[in-house]
Structures are given as structure tokens and as C-alpha cells.
Amino acid sequence: MSGKNKTIEDKMTELRALVTWFEQDEFKLEQAGEKFAQASKLAGEIEQDLMGLKNDITVLKQSFEDS
């Protein structure tokens, strides 16, 4: 996973916060460009992380037959 050990959920939380910033009173046009670039980068990382994840499938060695 890319992005300095942050989980996808961490990044999603960060992205949600960035998007929320655009909808709240703190929104300032002067900072919008920088925030948007930050959000775009994060979205790209999330997409890359999501598509690259592989499942770890383990078949247990235990036998469940009659002992």
C-alpha cells in the first residue's frame, strides 16, 4: 500500500474531511486550489491502493473429520 503506512480508511477519512472543508464556512477561495490538489492526490492514491489490494487466503490445516 502506498502513502506512508496510512490505511485506505485513514485516507478516506482524510478525503472526506477535505471535501467537507469545501462545503463549510472555513472555505476560502485562496486555499481551494491547494486543497483540491491535495484531495486529487489522495483520491489517486486511494484508487491505486484499492485496485492493488490482494486477499490473503489460507486453507486451515486442521482436519474436521471424525477424530
Q: How far apart are CA 32 and CA 21, in angstroms?
A: 9
Q: Check residue 29 for interaction with other proteins (CB under 8 A).
A: yes
How many residues make contact with other proteins (CB under 8 A)?
32
Helix 8-23 vs helix 29-52: angle between axes, to the nearest 10 degrees? 150
Torsion of CA 23, 25, 30, 34, to 10 degrees: -40
Minimal distance, residue 37 CB to other proteins, in Å: 11
User: Which is nearer to other proteins, 5 or 66 (by Cβ)?
Assistant: 66
Helix (H, G, I), strand (E, B) or coil at 28: coil
Q: Which residues bind other proteins (CB under 8 A)?
A: 1, 8, 12, 15-16, 19, 22-23, 27, 29, 32, 36, 39-40, 43, 46-47, 50-60, 62, 64-66
